């Protein structure tokens, strides 16, 4: 058991986000989680299995290249051998033996620094004893910091460098049937200070790829700003578990972790730039600098038995809701222009205030006048143009430019320049590569001017919470969940017609992946089975597979407005979560809005966010979404359009 020192400003930057932990069993992982971490006033970290400073990333950590500016200023990579030689020499003087000493950039996976931290990383065998590690790390730093300003040194147990993962608890485990009762006991215990909590969930948690080898762990997500202490709440949770037969051996972990909406930025594949809309491809908000998200697909609404089915594009509401700081240019849309700038600002303010926790109904909301959606997103197209320019620049090396000079001379006078056959072949091959890249770039540029997808038709509103008839538990009460959906009235020309049919509700197949088996048949409940995979196609992580956790995650929303007794009001939602079945995350920022497909290809939900620290994604139940769409729009029926768009 341990609790991190709350006095250090560097705490979250240096820790594994673990704030309090207890386990009835001693294993190497429980020992790692319970190790106390100390951070001094200069940012130097000291723990039994990790030391270093002056700036360490919070775990887990990604390897990333240091910035070009830092490398140009210090020669970090060209001097790699020098850095490693100096570091190894100092390690030897302290009797520290390591097979891996690396010079690289480090960046936290969950709380990413603006730039990778240049680091000398010393990986230690798990049997190594922490003798003089901190002394050696500081000595290495003193030796190198004069040449490489901003460098850090880290000596770490190799096991800490392995990311911990969540795995759904299997139905056969004794805690499975008791989870709701346990969670309710925790939620209704007034002696637990939940004001700093973001949620609770239960998983098998650890680094072993065999999920059964990882301990069942009750995880309490706490805010990064939380000061604790957590020992009282941890003990009361332990008492709740102990009251349930056989469950007092469940581990308890308080972890800095929070739910995040998954809208963000890289680029877009060239083959995603088509006239026809593409489910699974990025979308953005027209005339807004907000991040990109994903289009789920096409649904059809029928407003009475006598009316035809009408198609709309479906995504998350937060994907079309421009956040503050990204709204100024929305008024550039011609049909919303006003003579008075002040009047425009008032219109914007009223529109966005109205949709906070309130649904947008067809035809009656000012937000519909200027919230338009584009596909692919302009942000992604610009990033793809920039990336393509980078590829072209790499090909146009100094050697290539020398060849070009000679080739130009030969073109004017064959006797003037010279290229041997090998040089001529490489030059011609490079020219072909550049031509292909220029064509790709031209395609991205063309679609910046014709990526308007359509206008907001209706939506859930932002941050709205609603009872879910599909989340009943041990009581007859309905459970609450987030509503996060938006319908887009698609421009007719974006439905690419082939042989009189709409082409396209099949998910986009990134890197040529076949998605023909993503269909709409089969029973919904089949996805809630420990042996059944779900899949999605999204703009950031592309085609991924995962498993639903049948045990709901409980999230806490703390509102500043006074509750019944005059204190902060706590609202609890009950959410489906998904864990990847491989080392790739199921979803990341930018994947919000993607359809989630069940075992037989049926659409079972919409991805709307996740907890990066735990690497789990959140999904809205498509049944709840359809029910809410009917209530908000007045439609009698809603269905997923089939793969031909019919």
Instruction: Evaluate if residue 593 carries a pLDDT over 90.
Output: yes
- Picking from 42-46, 79-83, 599-603, which range would have the lowest pLDDT averaged per residue? 599-603
Instruction: Evaluate if residue 336 carries a pLDDT over 50.
Output: no
Distance CA 33, CA 56 (A): 17
pLDDT at position 337, please?
A: 46
Contacts of 157-161 spanning 24+ positions with Cβ under 8 A? 157/32, 157/49, 157/50, 157/124, 157/126, 157/128, 158/100, 158/123, 158/124, 158/125, 158/126, 159/28, 159/29, 159/32, 159/49, 159/126, 159/207, 160/16, 160/32, 160/49, 160/50, 160/59, 161/61, 161/123
Its pTM surpasses 0.85 = no
Using only C-alpha atoms, what is the Rg of the chain? 28
Peptide bond into 382 cis (omega under 30): no
Distance CA 104, CA 116 (A): 9
Q: Which has more pLDDT, 219 or 157?
A: 219
- Picking from 421-430, 513-522, 636-645, which range would have the lowest pLDDT averaged per residue? 513-522
Helix count (H) and strand count (E) of the chain? Answer: 12, 32
Distance CA 468, CA 628 (A): 10
Beta strands in 95-168 (DSSP E): 100-108, 117-124, 152-157, 165-167
Number of Cβ within a 10 Å radius of residue 387: 17
* Residue 62 β-bridge partners: 107
pLDDT at position 599, please?
A: 76
Torsion region of 239: left, alpha or beta (phi above 0 gives left; psi -120 to 50 gives alpha) = alpha
* Residue 532 β-bridge partners: none
Instruction: Evaluate if residue 598 carries a pLDDT over 90.
Output: no
Residues 6+ apart with CB under 8 A from 329: 287, 288, 289
Instruction: Evaluate if residue 645 carries a pLDDT over 60.
Output: no
Distance CA 265, CA 267 (A): 7
Written as one string, the DSSP assignment of 561-582 is: EE-TTSSEEEEEEEEEEEEESS
pLDDT at position 629, please?
A: 97
Domain extents for the chain?
Answer: 40-161, 165-258, 270-374+453-640, 378-448
Element (H, E) at 388: helix 378-395
Q: Tens digit of pLDDT for each residue in 272-283?
A: 677 777 787 878
Instruction: Evaluate if residue 339 carries a pLDDT over 60.
Output: no
Q: What percent of the chain has pLDDT over 90?
A: 36
Average pLDDT taken over every residue of the chain: 82
* Residue 52 β-bridge partners: 45, 154
What is the length of the chain? Answer: 646
Q: What is the mean pLDDT of residues 468-481?
A: 69
Q: Tens digit of pLDDT for each residue in 364-407?
A: 666 777 788 998 888 888 888 988 998 999 899 888 998 988 88
pLDDT at position 499, please?
A: 43
Q: How far is CA 431 from the centre of its chain?
A: 38
Distance CA 103, CA 118 (A): 7
Q: Which has more pLDDT, 564 or 477?
A: 477
Peptide bond into 376 cis (omega under 30): yes
* Residue 120 β-bridge partners: 103, 153
pLDDT at position 569, please?
A: 75
Sheet holding 100-108, edge to edge: 38-39, 45-47, 50-53, 152-157, 117-124, 100-108, 61-64
Confidence of residue 7 (pLDDT cuts 50, 70, 90): very low
Instruction: Evaluate if residue 218 carries a pLDDT over 50.
Output: yes
Instruction: Evaluate if residue 487 carries a pLDDT over 70.
Output: yes
Q: Tens digit of pLDDT for each residue in 221-257?
A: 988 777 777 888 989 999 999 998 778 889 998 888 8
CB-based contact 67:116 (threshold 8 Å): yes
Distance CA 450, CA 453 (A): 9
Distance CA 591, CA 266 (A): 11
3-state DSSP assignment of residue 249: coil
Confidence of residue 16 (pLDDT cuts 50, 70, 90): very low
Instruction: Evaluate if residue 436 carries a pLDDT over 90.
Output: yes
3-state DSSP assignment of residue 457: strand
pLDDT at position 587, please?
A: 93
- Looking up tokens 């509103």, which residue turns up? 461
β-pair type (497-498, 501-502): antiparallel
Q: Specify the fold of 165-258.
A: GMP Synthetase; Chain A, domain 3 (3.30.300)
Confidence of residue 35 (pLDDT cuts 50, 70, 90): low
Residue 73 in tokens: 């200023």
β-pair type (595-597, 568-580): unpaired
- Picking from 12-16, 260-264, 332-336, 577-581, which range would have the lowest pLDDT averaged per residue? 12-16
pLDDT at position 32, please?
A: 57
Distance CA 307, CA 637 (A): 11
Q: Tens digit of pLDDT for each residue in 611-624?
A: 988 889 999 999 99
Burial grade of 415 (CB within 10 A; 0-12, 13-18, 19 or more): exposed
Burial grade of 147 (CB within 10 A; 0-12, 13-18, 19 or more): middle
Q: Tens digit of pLDDT for each residue in 506-558?
A: 777 776 666 666 654 445 556 666 667 899 988 888 889 999 999 999 998 87
pLDDT at position 122, please?
A: 96
Query: Hey, what's the torsion of the CAs at 366, 370, 376, 380, to 10 degrees?
Result: -110
pLDDT at position 511, please?
A: 66
Alpha helices in 495-636 (DSSP H): 622-633
CB-based contact 211:3 (threshold 8 Å): no
Residue 482 in tokens: 């987030």
Distance CA 295, CA 592 (A): 8
CB-based contact 57:108 (threshold 8 Å): yes
β-pair type (117-124, 152-157): parallel
């Amino acid at each position: 058991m341990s609790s991190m020192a709350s006095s250090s400003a560097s705490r979250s930057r240096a820790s594994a986000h673990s704030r309090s932990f207890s386990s009835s069993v001693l294993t190497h992982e429980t020992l790692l989680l319970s190790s106390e971490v100390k951070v001094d006033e200069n940012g130097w970290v000291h723990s039994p299995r990790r030391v270093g400073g002056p700036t360490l990333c919070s775990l887990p950590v990604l390897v990333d290249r240091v910035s070009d500016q830092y490398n140009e200023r210090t020669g970090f990579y060209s001097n790699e051998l020098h850095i490693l030689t100096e570091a190894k020499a100092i390690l030897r003087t302290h009797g520290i033996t390591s097979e891996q000493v690396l010079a690289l950039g480090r960046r936290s996976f969950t709380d990413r620094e603006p730039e990778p931290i240049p680091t000398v990383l010393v990986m230690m065998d798990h049997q190594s004893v922490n003798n003089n590690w901190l002394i050696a790390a500081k000595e290495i730093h003193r030796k190198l910091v004069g040449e490489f300003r901003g460098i850090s040194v880290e000596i770490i147990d190799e096991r800490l460098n392995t990311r911990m993962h969540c795995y759904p608890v299997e139905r056969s485990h004794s805690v499975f049937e008791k989870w709701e009762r346990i969670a309710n006991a925790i939620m209704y215990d007034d002696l637990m200070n939940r004001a700093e909590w973001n949620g609770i969930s239960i998983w098998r948690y650890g680094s072993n790829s065999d999920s059964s080898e990882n301990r069942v762990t009750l995880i309490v997500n706490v805010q990064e700003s939380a000061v604790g202490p957590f020992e009282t709440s941890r003990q009361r949770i332990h008492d709740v578990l102990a009251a349930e037969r056989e469950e007092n051996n469940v581990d308890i972990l308080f972890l800095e972790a929070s739910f995040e909406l998954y809208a963000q930025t890289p680029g877009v594949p060239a083959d995603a730039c088509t006239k026809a809309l593409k489910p699974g491809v990025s979308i953005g908000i027209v005339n807004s600098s907000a991040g990109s998200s994903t289009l789920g697909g096409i649904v059809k609404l029928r407003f009475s038995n006598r009316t035809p089915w009408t198609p709309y594009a479906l995504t998350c509401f937060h994907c079309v809701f421009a956040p503050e700081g990204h709204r100024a240019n929305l008024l550039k849309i011609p049909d919303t222009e006003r003579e008075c700038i002040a009047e425009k600002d008032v219109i914007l303010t009223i529109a966005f205030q109205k949709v906070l926790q309130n649904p947008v109904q067809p035809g009656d909301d000012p937000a519909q006048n200027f919230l338009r959606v584009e596909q692919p997103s302009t942000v992604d197209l610009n990033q793809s143009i920039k990336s393509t320019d980078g590829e072209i620049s790499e090909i146009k090396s100094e050697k290539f430019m020398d060849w070009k000079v000679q080739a130009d001379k030969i073109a004017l006078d064959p006797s003037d320049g010279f290229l041997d056959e090998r040089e001529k072949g490489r030059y011609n091959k490079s020219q072909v590569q550049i031509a292909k890249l220029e064509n790709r770039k031209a395609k991205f540029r063309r679609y910046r001017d014709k990526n308007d997808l359509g206008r907001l038709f209706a939506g859930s509103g932002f941050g709205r919470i609603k009872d879910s008839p599909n989340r009943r538990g041990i009581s007859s009460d309905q459970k609450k969940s987030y509503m996060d959906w938006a319908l887009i009235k698609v421009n007719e020309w974006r439905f690419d017609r082939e042989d009189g049919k709409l082409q396209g509700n099949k998910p986009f197949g990134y890197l040529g992946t076949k998605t023909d088996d993503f269909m709409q048949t089969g029973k919904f409940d089949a996805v809630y089975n420990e042996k059944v995979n779900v899949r999605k196609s999204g703009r950031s992580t592309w085609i991924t597979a995962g498993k639903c956790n049948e045990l709901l995650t409980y999230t806490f929303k703390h509102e500043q407005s006074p509750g019944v007794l005059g204190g902060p009001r706590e609202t609890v939602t009950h959410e489906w979560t998904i864990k990847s079945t491989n080392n790739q995350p199921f979803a990341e920022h930018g994947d919000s809005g993607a359809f989630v497909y069940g075992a037989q290809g049926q659409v079972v939900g919409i991805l709307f966010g996740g907890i990066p620290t735990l690497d789990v994604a959140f999904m809205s139940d498509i049944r709840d979404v359809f029910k809410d769409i009917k209530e908000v729009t007045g439609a009698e029926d809603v269905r997923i359009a089939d793969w031909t768009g019919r």
